[in-house]
Each structure stands twice: as structure tokens, then as C-alpha cells.
Structure 1
Amino acid sequence: MSGTKSAHISSEQKTHLISFMQENKELVEGKFTKNFTFKTAQNLWNRAAEELNSIPGARKDWKQWRKTWQDLKAKTKSKKADIIKQSKKTGGGPPPEDLDLGEEKIIQIIGNTVIEGQDVPESTIRFNWDGDSSSQLPAELLEPTEEQVEEKKKERILPEEKPQFSRKRKARPAERLDKSLKASEQLVKLTTEKNKMKEKYYEKKILLLERQVKAKEEIAESLKIIANRLRRNNGSLL
């Protein structure tokens, strides 16, 4: 659906868009899983556009509605950052404007962590809508908007909610030695088991050969007895 882009969305459309994203947080996270595929995301954005265009207000295609959501996020996060910044100032001046109900919901959806001074692009799913639904995923799944990059420069991390990144601890020498010993023990165990299997195999093979030799000897002895009897019988006839 192309259509002509309207300048402003209605408050009802804004409320519905926020509610839709709140119900489909996979679109916000922008990560594909076994249960949330590329095709699933495409269908959701298409459904969002149809629902929003059925409400009085702006008329947009799915890409324009996605851009609207990105702009709402960027504006809300910038406003939240300004509120926190103003609250830490000791001087005078007018108090900052509070977040409205819709903006509060947006903060709840995206999380209360805002970033300042880092040009880290926010995850948004990039679609190739014109392609076949079975086509491969685009090479770049994360595509920040210019507004998002600019807003990242104004935002900052709240100290009490700064994400804790766990660093992978390097293995100590004793741990590495222990792992090497365990690997060696496992190798010795496997080698021993292999040798035992070979030993049993050769034992069975030798036993079989012995039985074959014994059987041949018994056959030879039987043939010898038969030959002797035949000679005696022939002698008596003469």
C-alpha cells in the first residue's frame, strides 16, 4: 500500500500504534528467533499499517508507520533525558515538561535506560518488502535513522540502571592444567577401551582358528580310519 503521507497522525492513531508495539515487543527488540521469523515481522507491520489507516487521521504505508514509531521513540527518549538533566540542576528556571501517558508507555516498552555520548544505533528491523516471502534475510538487519543517531548524542545512562556486562573471565593456569589432564585421561580411557576390544577380537579369532584346525584333524583321522578299513577289506577278498 503506497498512499499519500499525511503530515500529522491523530491522537487515536498514536495511542493505537503504542498499544500495538506494546503487544508486539518482538518488533521493538528487532531480533529474529525460531518463533519470530522475518515473515512474521513483515506480516505484523503490514497489519499495523492496515489497522492504523482504518482510524481517522494520517494515511501511510508500512514503512512510513515504522518511521513514525522510530521518531516517537527518539523524541520520547530525548525528552526523558532532558527531564533527568534538568532535575539534577541546582539553579532556577522553568521545570521541564512531564511525559504524557503515551510517552510513559513508550518508556515502559523500550526500557528506562537512555544513552548519552555514544553513537550506538538502536535495533530496528529492515525489511525487503518487495522480495519473495521465502527470500533470505537482508545482510544488514539493523538500520538506525538519522534522528536516532542524533538523539543518541544527547542521551545518557541512568546510574542506577546501568546495564552490567559480564566479562568472560580468563581461565587460570591451574584450570587450564586441570582441563588438559581431564582431556588426557579421557584419551587414555578411550585408547584402553579400544585395545580391550582388539584383544577380545583376536582372542575370539584364535579360538575360531583352533576349532577349525581341530575339525580338520578329526576329518583327517576319520578318513585315515576309513582308508585302513578299505585296505583290510580288499585284502580279505583276495
Structure 2
Amino acid sequence: MAEITTSATASGAKPSVRAALLAALVISAVTLGIATFELSMADWPSGFVLLVLVPLAALTFIGCGLWSMTLLLQIRPHGVKFAAPVLVYALTLATLIYAPLQEIALQRNFAWHRASRERIVARVEAGELKPNVNYNENLIALGDGEANVSAGGNDIVVDRMEKGSYVLFLTSRGLKHTFSGFLHVPAGADPKDFFEFDDKPPSRLVRYDKDWYFVAN
């Protein structure tokens, strides 16, 4: 009798979509996080992590998204709730395609660190901060005493001119001297006159505010 009751209970149990929905939410959140902060993770050594992390996340997202489509077969017998995982993946994909995630991250980065960066610029202009790295006469290692305002070890790049100093706060730093970051220029100066662009103009140049630009080489 007990066996019959157990069998009947098991056969009457309805399939659950909770695990699939939870997996969809976690995978989508991780994918969106990587897409948003990929630029800031591109500096050495985390750039090597991206070489593994991005393809792995992409394959996981695609694979689980395709698998979730099989749950659509459960809608008719068990309800529309089985469409939820597919909907999560579809909304995430639309966000990846149409939302300017990296631009939003850059805007937040600029706003969050602006006060600290402007204070550091003032110290550079006053001569309190000077290049202190032996192998590079344009590099200032801020060290642990300052807020973390520059990628790649919290170093900033300075270029002293007659009209003032160019100060670059890095957001990414690649292996082959590729970089991107927020460049503070002297009042009225041209960001293209920054010494890093002597041989080649910036591949990206976006004005963020007065005397502030986002640049990439």
C-alpha cells in the first residue's frame, strides 16, 4: 500500500521551472556583468582572464539559452511559467545588443572618481606629484596612499607643457602599449597634443566635460 501511495505521489508531481529560471538569472547576470566591465578588465593581467572568461560565458549563455527553448514544450501541459527562462535570456540578449553597457560603466567611473582625480591633477600642477618611476619619465605611481583612480597599478601618465600638464588616468592597459582612459588637459588645450598621440592620433576621443576627455590609442 505504501509503495502504491509513493508511486502515485511521484507520478502526480508536477515538473518545476525554478532551477531553470534561477540558472537563467545567474547566467544572464554574469554575462551582463562581463559585458559591462570588459573594458576595465582588459588591462594586464586580467586581460588573460578575459581570453578564457568571455568565450566560456558566451558558450554557456548560448547553450543554456538554446536548452531553455525546450522548456517551451512544457507550456501547454504545465503552464506559461515555463516560458520564463526563455524570456530572461531574450531580454538579456536584447540588452547586450542595444544597451550601451560599456558607455554607462565609463560614465559611472568618471562620476565616481572625478573629485579624486581632480585633486590629483591639482597636486601635479602644484608640483607635489612628480614622475617617480625609473624606467618611464612620464609615469607617476600613486601607491596605496591615494584612491584607486587608474587601472594597471594606480599609475598615471603625465605630460608637462608650458600651458600646463596633461594627466591620463587609465581605464585599461594592454600588453602592446594599448590603453584607454580619462585625459585631463590644460585649459583650452587640444587632447591630440598629448605626447602619446605624437605618432598616431587617438582611435577614440570623446569629450566628457570641460578639460576632460575619454581617449584610446
Class of the TM-score when normalised by the shorter of the 2 chains:
under 0.3
Which of structures 1 and 2 has the bigger CA Rg?
A: 1
The structure richer in strand per residue is: 2
TM-score, normalised to structure 1's length? Answer: 0.21
TM-score, normalised to structure 2's length?
Answer: 0.22
More helix by share: 1
Higher RCO (CA < 8 A, seq sep 6+): 1
